[in-house]
Structure 1
Amino acid sequence: MSEITNSTPTKTPASKPVRGTAPYALSDLILLPTTVPEIIQKTWTNNMEEWAKGVPEDKYHARERHLAATAFSSEGRLITWVLVPKPGTDVTESYREAVGEGGVRGSFVENDGSKDNLERILGALETYERPGLVARTEDDGEEGVKDVSTMSVASVYVPSKYRHHGYGHLMMKLLWEEMESRKIAFTFLYSDLGPDFYGDFGWTARTCTQILIPTTMTLPTPPTARTRGSVKSITLEPVATDIQLQDLIEQDALLVRKDLEARLATAKTNNDKKAKTIVAVTPEIRSIQWLHARSFFNASVIFSQNHSPLLIQTDLKYGVRVPGSKTQFVLWHHDFTDDNLFILRWRLDPSSSSPEEDTDAIALAFAQAAKDEAKKWGLSKVVFWNGDEALAHLLGLKVETRKDSIPSLGLLNSVYPGHQPEELEWVLNQKYSWC
């Protein structure tokens, strides 16, 4: 089983699959949440075979501890799950006969950090509980936008020596049941297994496009500047502090809610009788700070030879905005691992522009600022997931289809019984919701 990662990996040679006898019967396995440090660290060690990309184990573990200490991961929002044999079970007779005295043995003990017990971890994943919004044109006679709990899924991993026995499939099935029992409204993940694999368990693939802006590209001038000379020049200011970021995110979340309300009103005006559900992951400061913490750690520890400590401390900013504006900004994430500057949130509100300002000019200024930021940090391109086609047209670029990190979404029947996946829409399906 290939996996969903806490980063968007370039492909590395996978370990050779082991297709021997399954050590445990599927009926003898359970999915457990764990807070035991040794068990959590073992899941990191296991998935290093796919995602470490040459990073030493001590730094890899240090990064995960660094991220686990953020507000986004705190207070039970981050859960590490392990697929393990039930108490009182043991390996199958066929496995015992096949491996002789070697191999794994026995059942899993929840609070045991010993080496033998850690070898009984057959798979692992992480979930993050996050705020979301659900808008329904029909909801048992009640229309409206509701605040809900969602779960994003990441770091799904089965060690190579335990693959091809159905453990990954079982793990996702059991996770879905756990989310049903917790009354999670919807769940989402980013698949590197193509668009179909997770559909067996409830997640269905969604729009998966991107706009790529190379740092070598020369951006066009605003269309209006070619016909008139009175377009106001655009100056931008950095989004550098948590207070500035909080102001932007709070306003952004409010406007996302208003957008969903407007969509419902349009459906009602058009007398749309077909039930439809629209969801959005609520923008929140914690997720942006988590991504920033990832960038900071990678720059200062893993790729420290490429950047001066002073530059990292003073110049690794959240993004830029039109000076003083809460509705015209771009936030980004420095992905030093895979050579990208990702656009997290791009908000451009024409109604906020003064008459002498030009919306296209602001969009181009944002794109130029992102391109300059990428180049400053040695990144080769700017990546905007599911970016507006109008922006691509303005830049003279094509909207491309992605083949990895495919966003996949599921609405849980425990909260919304009887829904149809084709009637489910995900708005703002962008990088800020990735983890």
Structure 2
Amino acid sequence: MTEATNTPTVTATATTTTTKPIRGPAPYALTDLQLVPTTVPKIIQKTWTNNMEEWAKGVPEDQYHARERHLASTAFSSEGRLVTWVLVPKPGTDATEAYKAGRSGAGGVGGAFAEDSVEEENLERILGALETYERPGLVARTEGDEEEGVKDVSTMSIASVYVPSKYRHHGYGHLMMKLLWEEMESRKIAFTFLYSDLGPDFYGDFGWTPRTCTQILIPSTFILPTPPSARTRGSVKSVALDPIATDAELQELIDQDARLVRQDLETRLAAAKANTDTKIKTIVAVTPEVRAIQWLHARSHFNASVIFAKNFPDPSKIQSDLKYGVRVPGTLNQFVLWHHDFTDDNLFILRWRLDPSSSSSPEPEDSDAIALAFAQAAKDEAKKWNLSKIVFWNGDAELAQLLGLKVETRKDSIPSLGLLNTAYPGHRSDELEWVLNQKYSWC
């Protein structure tokens, strides 16, 4: 999630109104503001209430808050990995004279923010908020220590960037991201990433640069083609698939996936060092981790069983039928993981691994059959849950060609990446490659 540009207000009822942006005097001067972390539950809940105007989509406040509490209790959000930040007035400051004069004593904000106060007057001083998740990553560089190879690093993903509509157009969003970048520079963070709904340029002012942003869309009604190899053999090889249903099965796949991602970076690093013509000097990847997949699964389960419960009246069926994905039986490198996005009517592909070069992989002529079996399984899953389409971010162009579909450029959730200057001084964004820039790293 990222800060919204539109200003529709969605309340706990079905009524939707449009709030015009306020362009009067700024409540506070930029120099009087600070970005601070908070662990106070009611302050965090106020940030959820604020961003409901954009992201609730008609969801009652109690359900929206319950979902956020549920996600905050998962392993992905535990042990200090999730931090909520608020942009608030510094101690000893007050609202601007122009703002107070314009209010003429008719309410509004004023005074400094008290970090432990949950009084409504104090909560109204939250001018913006965001969330950060500390996550494992991998970095490989062609410059520096030759023995360094692929390094395990700490990364930070940014989510829920939001300025309430009544406080916009005063530079608060810009200031919040600038202060956050400075905060990350002071920590041992190697790189940071987010998904922008404000276009490709807004976050570039602070260090995040837009990266490859494509998708493959497969309607759930789409008729899959015959594998090209079968056209010459005269038959289609049957591909059996097993569901990925348990946490233990998921853990085994993700552990192997992380090892294979590391191997991929090692191969790319060796190739980049050998190729004197390449501009790529730094290769990064967000390490696949089971906690992130489980967080997305928890989001799907809560939405199905609570927010959209009327569509799925049998809770036991949700618990038993909401699977992580499918795989080729007996393999750890032939699988697809997905996420049921009931809010936006999508089945998202989180990870798609089909390794034709692996010794345990099928013969090359059967790779198409497995890819089509994965696509069919995703279609079946989407239909089962009444989702209209499958979405594959930065999906392989060969898959699109196999399906006879176009690789589209998307204009929302634009992946944006930045290396921290304290970790990699003097780096250039055009010398940076983001490997596996797919939905599994979204939050």
> Given the two structures, how large is their TM-score scaled by the length of structure 2?
0.94
Q: Which of residues 418, 422, 426 is equivalent to 1:418?
A: 426
Structure 1 segment 122-161 matched on structure 2, within 5 A: 122-161=127-166
Matched, 1:76 2:84: no
- For residues 294 and 368 of structure 1, the distance between their equivalents in structure 2, rounded to whole angstroms, comes to 24
Matched, 1:208 2:208: no
Paired residue type of 2:21: P
- For residues 87 and 212 of structure 1, the distance between their equivalents in structure 2, rounded to whole angstroms, comes to 50
8 A Cα contact 2:185 2:421, kept in partner = yes
Matched, 1:171 2:176: yes
Q: Which of residues 401, 404, 417 is equivalent to 2:409?
A: 401
Matched, 1:331 2:331: no
Deviations 1:210-248 (A, max 9, x none): 000001111011111111146531000000000000000
- For residues 389 and 81 of structure 1, the distance between their equivalents in structure 2, rounded to whole angstroms, comes to 39
- Show the counterpart of 1:42: 46
- For residues 293 and 276 of structure 1, the distance between their equivalents in structure 2, rounded to whole angstroms, comes to 37
- For residues 342 and 13 of structure 1, the distance between their equivalents in structure 2, rounded to whole angstroms, comes to 30
8 A Cα contact 2:2 2:159, kept in partner = no
8 A Cα contact 1:4 1:189, kept in partner = no
Paired residue type of 2:39: T
Moved more, 266-275 or 320-329: 266-275
**Secondary structure of 2:233's match?**
coil
Seen in structure 2, the aligned counterparts of structure 1 residues 82 and 277 have a Cα distance that, compared at 3 Å, is same
Deviation at 1:100, TM superposition (A): 1.8
- Show the counterpart of 1:309: 315
Seen in structure 2, the aligned counterparts of structure 1 residues 248 and 13 have a Cα distance that, compared at 3 Å, is farther
Matched, 1:89 2:97: no
**Secondary structure of 1:20's match?**
coil
**Secondary structure of 2:221's match?**
coil
Matched, 1:372 2:377: no
Aligned length, in residue pairs:
430
Matched, 1:58 2:62: yes
Matched, 1:320 2:326: yes
Paired residue type of 2:398: A
Deviation at 1:139, TM superposition (A): 2.2
Identity, % of aligned positions = 81
Seen in structure 2, the aligned counterparts of structure 1 residues 378 and 274 have a Cα distance that, compared at 3 Å, is closer
- Show the counterpart of 2:285: 280
8 A Cα contact 1:150 1:186, kept in partner = yes
Deviation at 1:160, TM superposition (A): 0.7
8 A Cα contact 1:230 1:356, kept in partner = no
- For residues 365 and 404 of structure 2, the distance between their equivalents in structure 1, rounded to whole angstroms, comes to 22
Deviations 1:65-105 (A, max 9, x none): 00000000000000000000001111111111110212111
Matched, 1:363 2:374: no
**Secondary structure of 2:240's match?**
coil
- For residues 76 and 365 of structure 2, the distance between their equivalents in structure 1, rounded to whole angstroms, comes to 37
- For residues 424 and 346 of structure 1, the distance between their equivalents in structure 2, rounded to whole angstroms, comes to 23
Deviations 1:279-335 (A, max 9, x none): 000000000000000000000000001112122011000000001210000000000
- For residues 271 and 91 of structure 1, the distance between their equivalents in structure 2, rounded to whole angstroms, comes to 57
Deviation at 1:355, TM superposition (A): 4.0
Deviations 1:117-157 (A, max 9, x none): 10000000000000000010112555411000000001000
- Show the counterpart of 1:119: 124
Deviation at 1:275, TM superposition (A): 6.1
Moved more, 56-65 or 136-145: 136-145
Deviation at 1:354, TM superposition (A): 3.7
8 A Cα contact 1:232 1:356, kept in partner = no
**Secondary structure of 2:63's match?**
helix
Q: Specify every segment of 5 or more residues in structure 1 that has no aligned partner in the other structure, as ranges.
A: none
Deviation at 1:268, TM superposition (A): 2.5
- For residues 320 and 147 of structure 2, the distance between their equivalents in structure 1, rounded to whole angstroms, comes to 50
- Show the counterpart of 1:428: 436
Deviation at 1:108, TM superposition (A): 0.3
- For residues 439 and 181 of structure 2, the distance between their equivalents in structure 1, rounded to whole angstroms, comes to 23
Q: Specify every segment of 5 or more residues in structure 2 that has no aligned partner in the other structure, as ranges.
A: 11-15
8 A Cα contact 2:4 2:54, kept in partner = no
Matched, 1:3 2:18: no
**Secondary structure of 1:261's match?**
helix
**For the aligned residues, what is the CA RMSD?**
1.8
8 A Cα contact 1:342 1:431, kept in partner = yes
Deviations 1:235-267 (A, max 9, x none): 000000000000000000000000000011112
8 A Cα contact 1:318 1:332, kept in partner = yes
Deviations 1:315-364 (A, max 9, x none): 00000000121000000000000000000000001122244970000000
- Show the counterpart of 1:270: 275
Deviation at 1:16, TM superposition (A): 1.4
Deviation at 1:15, TM superposition (A): 2.9
8 A Cα contact 1:328 1:347, kept in partner = yes
Seen in structure 2, the aligned counterparts of structure 1 residues 384 and 274 have a Cα distance that, compared at 3 Å, is closer
Structure 1 segment 230-249 matched on structure 2, within 5 A: 232-249=237-254
- Show the counterpart of 2:13: none
